[in-house]
Amino acid sequence: MELYRACYRSKIRWDKMRLPLPDEIDKTLLRIRRINRKAGVTGALLLVDQHIVQVLEGRPGQVLDTVYCVMNDPRLHAIEGIVHEPAEFRLFPNSLMFFRDLTDGIAASQHAVLRPLLDHPGDVTRDEAYLAFGHFATELLEGRLTNDMLMI
What is the nearest approach in angstroms of ligand FMN to the Cβ of residue 122?
22
- Cα dist. 25→22, 55, 148 in Å? 5, 16, 30
What is the nearest approach in angstroms of ligand FMN to the Cβ of residue 112?
25
Q: Which of 3, 12, 69, 71 is nearest to 36 (CA)?
A: 69
Residue closer to ligand FMN (CB basis): 92 or 130: 92
Residue closer to ligand FMN (CB basis): 41 or 107: 41
Residue closer to ligand FMN (CB basis): 70 or 91: 70
Residue closer to ligand FMN (CB basis): 76 or 107: 76
Task: With beta carbons less than 8 A apart as the criterion, state whether 49 and 120 touch.
Answer: no
What is the nearest approach in angstroms of ligand FMN to the Cβ of residue 38?
9
Q: Which of 46, 55, 58 is nearest to 105 (CA)?
A: 46
Residues within the interface to ligand FMN (CB under 6 A)? 28, 31-32, 35-36, 45, 52, 54, 56, 66, 69-70, 73, 75-76, 97
Side-by-side strand order, sheet with 76-87: 76-87, 3-12, 51-58, 42-48, 98-101
